[in-house]
Structure formats: C-alpha cells, structure tokens
Amino acid sequence: MHKPVLGIIGGVGPLATAYFMQLLIQKTEAHTDQENMPMIVFNDPQIPDRTSYILDNAEPDPLPELVKVAQWLQNAGADFLAIPCNTAHYFYDSISESVSIPLVNILQETADVIAKKTNKHATVGLMATRGTIASNLYQGYFAQLGMDVKIPTEAEQDLLMGLIYDCVKANRPYDENVLLNIAHNMHDKGCDTVIIGCTELSVIYQNLAQKPAWLIDALDVLAETCCMIYKLARDEDNACDM
C-alpha cells in the first residue's frame, strides 16, 4: 500500500513550519506511528522575505528558491505539496506550474471554509502581513464568494507586524492579548469572521486561552485539508488492496 507523502515547503518561517507539522500529527486519524502521514520537509529559511518583495520588487525575489524547493520535494517523492505561509501564495501559480503534483492553496481553502460557516454576504476581517494584504489575493477569493474583506487600522497593522517580525520570527516573547484585542476590535466593528492570515500569528493563536468561534486560523485550515487529502488517498488505497 502506498501512503501519500506530503512535501512541505518550509522555513517561511521556521517556527510556523514546526507548528504546522505538529498540527498535522495532531489532526491525522492515527492510532499507531505507522498510521501517521509521511512528510518530507525542506525547511529553507534562506528563502527571501515575501512581504519585502511584494512591497518592493527591487528586493530579492523569493520565487526562484520557492520553485527550487518545490521541485526538490517532488523529486524526493512527495505526492502533494503545502506551504505554511500565506504571503508565499502570492507566487502560487508560478510554483504550481513548476511541478506536476498538486499544491494545496491555503487562501482558497480558508475562503471555502468560511463560506460554509457564514452567510453569502458576510464581512471578513483579515489579520496578515502587509504583503498578504497588498497582494489582494484573499480579497479576490472572497469577492468571488460575494464577501467583503476588511483590514486592520494602520496602528493595528503596525502592532501585527511587530508580533510577526519582532517577536515570532525573532524568537522573542510576545503578548498574545495584542492579537486577541485586534481580532475583537475587528469583530466589534462588523466583521462576522476574522482570519488569522499569517502563520506567525498562527503560532500565537495556539496559545490563546480563549479562541472565539468567529476567529479562523488559516494554518489550521491548511492542516485539516492536508489530513483530509491523506485520509481519502489512504482509504482509496486500502479499498484497492481488499
């Protein structure tokens, strides 16, 4: 029996990659070591910063290294790919075209999950890097679903960027209440759902004492999707072996 192998384009950032692997293990329906999902992880922290490039194309381009890692994972035996980084999905089409195996789209999957949980004309709050917000990718997915996207105030965005770059990426302490307070502010201002749309913020999200039902973590959605892909393929293989 062949168990599908997940290839993870990691290092963007490193701690978020480690947390993603933890989520996958926790969410996989497994009772033994052998039932867990096989993974190949290329943790490449040398990939240039995605937000820096999106905001200024004169900065180093992450795409060549992202493509290199994707192709390496495919050649190493991965059956499908995932990137635990929302901002990196700015390059989603180019990365997908560079390989012949599927690349799970965290933005599309998150939009679909929220669409199923809310009404058609819901307003979605987006907490993410400036690069993700500037790319307008999330906004595009939700517009196709008839939903509006609201972003934090400039002061709130400064606080979020501090959490992402000065705390999690820098491996320094953070106050998770900063994240929660911004989410509550956006919800109070009319956002039916608020997305944790940066995987460094997902690292903080896991430590929240309270997780409101309207607060959706995109990395959690990505892990759920990968586990479902694995389960469906495993079940299909088991049926063929009978």
Please report, to the nearest 10 degrees, the dihedral formed by the alpha carbons of residues 154, 220, 50, 116 taken in order.
-70
Query: What angle (nearest 5°) sits at the alpha carbon of residue 183, between those of residues 138 and 92?
Result: 20
Helices (H) and strands (E) in the chain, counts: 11, 7
For tokens 């997915």, what's the residue? Answer: 141
In this structure, the dihedral spanned by the alpha carbons of residues 162, 168, 171 and 173, taken in order and rounded to 10 degrees, is 70
Per the rule left: phi > 0, alpha: psi between -120 and 50, beta: everything else, 11 is: left
Residues linked to residue 60 through DSSP beta bridges, in sequence order: none
Determine the Cα–Cα distance for residues 124 and 104; give it in Å rounded to an integer.
Answer: 22
Residues labelled as active-site residues: 85, 198
Chain mean position to CA 38: 19
91's tokens:
């390059």
